[in-house]
Structure 1
């Protein structure tokens, strides 16, 4: 897969692949509800980043990145529930670290996008 050189595109795609692997592991342990929630929110991060790359305006870009940030936070919630809920036995430390990295990156992008918008308003 080729990326535009934007680190958030590559990292969100790689994170989606990690989510798919955790989804498969959860399915193998017969955890179907949390795994589907995790799959939806975890892969939505990268999908919204991709949508933002084709934004029709700076406001649209900021909005799509904001949605991606919210999805990353929701994903953190599902990962923590999976880790502490006792429904599955998975090592989630690495993916939680990657999730935190995405949250930090997306938060910075959203803040700088909103700052740029407020300067032009």
Structure 2
């Protein structure tokens, strides 16, 4: 449960980043925490601590958030690379 509460504050920190590099770093941390949460959910199901049907919506939401954050990271890194190459030409 504790790892599941970490992505939201990490995402909030990314939104308040001091630079694009800082944004990318903090967003990557949020993604790592989401992935950790996904593993914990799967472990809870495998160990039969809670029924799979009860955790299925949570796992689905976690997977969706991972995809969204991962795509945001790809976009942010692409924009950063493009911005860096423009700066070098100037």
Normalised by the size of structure 2, how large is the TM-score?
0.86
Is 1:66 the counterpart of 2:28? The answer is yes
In structure 1, stretches of 5+ residues that fail to align are 1-38
The whole-number CA distance in structure 1 between the counterparts of 2:46 and 2:67 is 23
Q: Per the alignment, in what secondary structure is the counterpart of residue 68 of structure 2? A: helix
Q: Number of residues paired by the alignment?
A: 82
Is 1:57 the counterpart of 2:3? The answer is no
Pick aligned residue for 1:89 from 44, 50, 57: 50
Runs ≥4 in structure 1, deviation > 2 angstroms? none
The whole-number CA distance in structure 1 between the counterparts of 2:24 and 2:76 is 6
In structure 2, stretches of 5+ residues that fail to align are 85-90
**Which residue pairs with 1:107 in the alignment?**
70
Pair member with larger Rg: 2
Normalised by the size of structure 1, how large is the TM-score?
0.65
